[in-house]
C-alpha cells in the first residue's frame, strides 16, 4: 500500500475496522450513513482498458483517488482504500494527489495494487474482513522552493517562447518519466540551439517548474510573474507525459494557429510524429493559457506510462535514450518553426 498525496495519517495510532467494498460512485451513493459508519470503504474501480488513449482511462478513474477520503468521512467511515490508477496487472501501488473538502474530517486514504485489489474483492465475497492502519504521514506546512530557469536571448525581440517540465516527483520512485524526462528534453532544446549555432529571433526559455504534483505552485507563480513583468509570450509547450516515443503534439490555441502548425506535419513524420488533433496542454503552463498564450504538450506513446506512474517503478532504467531524444527533437523542431514564423 501507499498513502495518497496530501493524506493525513493516523498520528501513529492503530485504526481498525471492517472493510466494505463499492465498485462505483453510484454504489457508494446508495449506502446509508449507518452502513458506512466506523467502516473502511474500499473503492475498487478498475482503470478502464477500453481506451486507446490511456490518459482517458486515468481521468476516468482519478475521481476515486481524489474524493474517496472525503466521501468516506461524510458518512462516518474510518479511512478509505482505493484501487491504484494503474494500467498494469501487478501488485505495485500508485500514489497521487487527493484533496479534502472544507469542513470535512480529514481521514486517511491509501492505494493498493491491482492484484491485491482483486484478491481483497474475492475474499470479501466469502467472509468479513477487517484491516488495521498505522500511519505517520501528514501535511507539514509550506517551505519555499524555486523553479529553475535558463534562456537564450532573441536577436529580433524579447518575446518569449517557453519549453518546460516539472522538477518535483512523488518520493516513492525516482520520477524518471514523471517528470525527469520532460526536464531533460527541455534543457536539450537549448543545448541543440547552441550546438547547431541556430540564431533564434525570440527568447527561448526553459522553465523547470517547482511543485507541480502538489498544487502547480511553480506554474502559477510563473504566470503571475510574467503578468507582473508584462512579458509577451508567443508560445509555451510542456513535456509531462513520459519519455516514451513521441507520437504528436496537442495544441490548445485558436484555430488559425492550429491550422498553421498542422500544415507542418510533414516535417515531423520522419520522427513518427503525426497526431496534432489534441486540444489540451501541460498543467504547469495553464496559467499562461489563461492569459491567452497559445500552449501545447508533447504527446508520447502512453501505453506503458500508467504501468509505472507515481510508483517505485518509475526509475532511470525505464527511460529509453533514443525515445527520449526523439521527444526532445520534436520539441526543438516545433520551437524552431514557431520562432521563425510567429
The overall average pLDDT reported for the chain is: 97
* Domain range list for the chain: 2-133, 148-341
Question: Please, are residues 188 and 328 in contact by the beta-carbon 8 Å criterion?
Answer: yes
Q: What is the pLDDT of residues 193-226, one digit of tens each?
A: 999 999 999 999 999 999 999 999 999 999 999 9
Q: Is the pLDDT of residue 141 over 90?
A: no
Which phi and psi angles does 40 have, rounded to 5°? Answer: -105, 125
Per-residue pLDDT at 102: 95
Per-residue pLDDT at 91: 96
Whether domain 2-133 has CATH 3.90.1150.10: the reply is no
Please report the sign of the dihedral spanned by the C-alpha atoms of residue 260, residue 266, residue 271, residue 276. positive
Q: 288-316: string of b/e by CB count within 10 Å (b at 16+)? A: bbeeebbbbbbbbbbebbbbbbbbbbbee
Per-residue pLDDT at 208: 98
Mean pLDDT for 324-336 is 98
Q: What is the DSSP secondary structure assignment for residue 173, as one 8-state letter?
A: S
Q: Are strands 203-209 and 148-152 parallel, antiparallel or unpaired?
A: antiparallel
292 upstream amide cis, omega within 30 of 0: no
Percent of the chain beyond pLDDT 70? 100
pTM for the model = 0.95
Closest CA to 168 of 205, 225, 218: 218
133: CB partners within 8 A, 6+ apart: 10, 14, 15, 16, 40, 79, 108, 110
Q: Is the pLDDT of residue 140 over 90?
A: no
Q: Would you tell me the crossing angle of helices 321-341 and 181-196 to the nearest 10 degrees? A: 60
Q: Is the pLDDT of residue 250 over 90?
A: yes
215: CB partners within 8 A, 6+ apart: none
Percent of the chain beyond pLDDT 90? 98
- Same fold flag, 2-133 and 148-341: no
CATH architecture of the domain covering 148-341: 3-Layer(aba) Sandwich (3.40)
Q: What is the pLDDT of residues 45-73, one digit of tens each?
A: 999 999 999 999 999 999 999 999 999 99
Amino acid at each position: 500500500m501507499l498513502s495518497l498525496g496530501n493524506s493525513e495519517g493516523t498520528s501513529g495510532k492503530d485504526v481498525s475496522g471492517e472493510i466494505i467494498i463499492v465498485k462505483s460512485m453510484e454504489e457508494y451513493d446508495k449506502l446509508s450513513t449507518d452502513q458506512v459508519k466506523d467502516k473502511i470503504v474500499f473503492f475498487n474501480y478498475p482503470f478502464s482498458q477500453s481506451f486507446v488513449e490511456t490518459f482517458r482511462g486515468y481521468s476516468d478513474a482519478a475521481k476515486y483517488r481524489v474524493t474517496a477520503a472525503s466521501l468516506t468521512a461524510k458518512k462516518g467511515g474510518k479511512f478509505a482504500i482505493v484501487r491504484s490508477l494503474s494500467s498494469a496487472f501487478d501488485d505495485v501501488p500508485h500514489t497521487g494527489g487527493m484533496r479534502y473538502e472544507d469542513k470535512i474530517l480529514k481521514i486517511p486514504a491509501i492505494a493498493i495494487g491491482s492484484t491485491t485489489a482483486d484478491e481483497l474483492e474475492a475474499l470479501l465475497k466469502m467472509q468479513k474482513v477487517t484491516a488495521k492502519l498505522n500511519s505517520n504521514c501528514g501535511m507539514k506546512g509550506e517551505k519555499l522552493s524555486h523553479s529553475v530557469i535558463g534562456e537564450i536571448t532573441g536577436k529580433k525581440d524579447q518575446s518569449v517562447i517557453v519549453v518546460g517540465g516539472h522538477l518535483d516527483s512523488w518520493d516513492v520512485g525516482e520520477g524518471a518519466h514523471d517528470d525527469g524526462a520532460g526536464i531533460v528534453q527541455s534543457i536539450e532544446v537549448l543545448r541543440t540551439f547552441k550546438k547547431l549555432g541556430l540564431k533564434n529571433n525570440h527568447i527561448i526559455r526553459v522553465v523547470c517548474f517547482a511543485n507541480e504534483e502538489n498544487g502547480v505552485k511553480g506554474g502559477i507563480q510563473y504566470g503571475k510573474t510574467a503578468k507582473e513583468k508584462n512579458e509577451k509570450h508567443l508560445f509555451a509547450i510542456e513535456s509531462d507525459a513520459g519519455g516514451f516515443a513521441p507520437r504528436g503534439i496537442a495544441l490548445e490555441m485558436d484555430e488559425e494557429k492550429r491550422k498553421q502548425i498542422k500544415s507542418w506535419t510533414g516535417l515531423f513524420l520522419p520522427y513518427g510524429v503525426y497526431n496534432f488533433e489534441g486540444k489540451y496542454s501541460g498543467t504547469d503552463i495553464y496559467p499562461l493559457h489563461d492569459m491567452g498564450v497559445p500552449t501545447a504538450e508533447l504527446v508520447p506513446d502512453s501505453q506503458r506510462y500508467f504501468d509505472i506512474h507515481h510508483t517505485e517503478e518509475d526509475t532511470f532504467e525505464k527511460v529509453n535514450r533514443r525515445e527520449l531524444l526523439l521527444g526532445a527533437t520534436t520539441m526543438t523542431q516545433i520551437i524552431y518553426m514557431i520562432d521563425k514564423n510567429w
